[in-house]
């Protein structure tokens, strides 16, 4: 084992891994170091891992901290340890022109610590999983990304989340909210579907319907000039090629904020954005007291989302 306390070689569940630059400050405003990032993810592993397992990971790396240049990484084949499970996924339309990428699957604690050691502060995953041989399955989650346009905040997002919850319930779906860890929030529903295009089309119809019913609060189109003071319901996150920040992921904000599952009474009572801002320290305390509020997304019967779901015309 290494004797250098800043670059130790550690044994994690039988896997050997060299950690590096543990005292490097990645969140300058908070003085939060890379070692603290690794400690945070290790502490969150029991609740985080079930939500990323079998989901190809897109890493968002900040090697010099949140105030410096970052980059997304999908293809980890050239530097991943041989014990990190990877899966080859087609990447049509890749900005690098690659036909495929070898994505990491964060199946266990050693792999999670490996990603944290890469200064991958944010973990982004799709709404679908892969099978034991790497086959891509149909989506099992429906997601709505709620993004406030200034001067709107997460407070307005909470009002839209409640409207979405009611609309989803009318169609037979249970909704579970979480903060994005940044400005907005996301809503998830466990589903099953026979076509990867159905969730996106359903989400689009639902977002447009709420925009029609609540034009002063909701917008379903990305156009910036339409979004001032309103909440964008980003239904496009259901595109199988897109990813969403994982539950319990850190975010690259000035302080180490976290994407945290919420209870609906917290959504209902939110009157200020600080009500729903959680740091890494808050997240540890919260999990200790609340457990995993997203556990219902992990199993059980899932309602079928069909091509005609939500057609109320």
pLDDT in tens, 247-275: 999 999 999 999 999 999 999 999 999 99
CA atoms within 13 A on the CB side of 305: 28
Highest mean predicted confidence (pLDDT) among 137-146, 216-225, 301-310: 137-146
Could you tell me if 165 and 142 are in contact, meaning their C-beta atoms sit under 8 angstroms apart? no
pLDDT, average across residues 229-245: 96
Between 6 and 256, residue with greater pLDDT = 256
Q: 9-137 sits in which CATH class?
A: alpha beta
> How far from each other are the two terminal CA atoms of the chain, in whole angstroms?
67
Q: With bands split at pLDDT 50, 70 and 90, how would you rate the model's confidence at 77? A: confident
User: Given the structure tokens 């944010």, which residue do they identify?
Assistant: 122
Q: Tell me the per-residue pLDDT of 42-58, one tens digit each, with 9 for 90 and over.
A: 999 999 999 999 999 99
Task: Calculate the alpha carbon distances from 239 to 43, 128, 283 in Å.
Answer: 31, 10, 29
What integer pLDDT is reported at residue 313 of this predicted model?
59
Could you tell me if 74 and 101 are in contact, meaning their C-beta atoms sit under 8 angstroms apart? yes
What integer pLDDT is reported at residue 2 of this predicted model?
54
Is pLDDT at 276 greater than 90 in this prediction?
Answer: yes
Q: With bands split at pLDDT 50, 70 and 90, how would you rate the model's confidence at 4? A: confident
Q: Tell me the per-residue pLDDT of 98-132, one tens digit each, with 9 for 90 and over.
A: 789 999 999 999 999 999 999 999 999 999 999 99
Q: CATH number for the 138-278+289-305 domain, one of 3.90.1150.10, 3.40.50.300, 3.20.20.70, 3.30.70.3300?
A: 3.30.70.3300
Name the burial class of residue 216, with classes exposed (0-12), middle (13-18) and buried (19+) by CB atoms within 10 angstroms of its CB: exposed
Q: Please, what is the average pLDDT of the chain?
A: 95
pLDDT, average across residues 267-284: 96
Q: Which two tokens stand for residue 233?
A: 């319901």
Write down the pTM of the prediction.
Answer: 0.95
Name the burial class of residue 117, with classes exposed (0-12), middle (13-18) and buried (19+) by CB atoms within 10 angstroms of its CB: buried
Query: Would you list the domain boundaries of the chain?
Result: 9-137, 138-278+289-305
- Nearest alpha-carbon partner for 155 in 279, 287, 266, 257: 266
218-219 and 231-234 beta bridge pairing: parallel
């Amino acid at each position: 084992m290494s004797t250098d306390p800043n670059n130790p070689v550690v044994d994690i569940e039988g896997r050997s891994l060299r950690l590096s630059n543990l005292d490097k400050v990645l969140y300058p405003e908070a003085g939060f170091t890379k070692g603290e990032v690794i400690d945070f993810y290790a502490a969150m592993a029991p609740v985080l891992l079930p939500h990323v397992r079998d989901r190809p990971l897109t890493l968002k790396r900040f090697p010099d901290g949140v105030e410096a240049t970052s980059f997304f990484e999908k293809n980890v084949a050239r530097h991943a340890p041989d014990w990190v499970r990877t899966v080859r996924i087609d990447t049509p339309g890749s900005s690098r022109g690659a036909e495929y990428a070898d994505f990491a699957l964060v199946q266990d604690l050693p792999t999670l610590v490996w990603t944290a050691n890469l200064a991958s502060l944010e973990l982004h995953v799709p709404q679908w999983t892969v099978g034991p041989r790497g086959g891509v399955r149909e989506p099992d989650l429906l997601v709505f990304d709620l993004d406030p346009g200034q001067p709107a905040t997460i407070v307005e997002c909470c009002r839209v989340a409640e409207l979405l919850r009611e609309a989803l319930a009318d169609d037979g779906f249970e909704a579970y909210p979480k903060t994005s860890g940044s400005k907005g929030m996301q809503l998830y529903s466990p589903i099953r579907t026979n076509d990867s295009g159905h969730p996106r089309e359903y989400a689009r119809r639902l977002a447009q319907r709420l925009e029609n019913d609540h034009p002063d609060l909701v917008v379903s189109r990305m156009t910036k000039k339409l979004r001032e003071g309103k909440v964008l319901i980003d239904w496009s996150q259901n595109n199988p090629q897109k990813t969403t920040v994982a539950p319990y992921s850190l975010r690259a904000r000035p302080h180490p904020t976290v994407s945290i599952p919420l209870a609906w009474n917290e959504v209902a009572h939110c009157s200020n954005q600080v009500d729903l801002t959680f740091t890494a320290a808050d997240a540890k305390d919260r999990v200790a007291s609340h457990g995993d509020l997203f556990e219902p997304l992990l199993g059980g019967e899932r309602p079928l989302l069909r091509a005609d779901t939500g057609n109320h015309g």
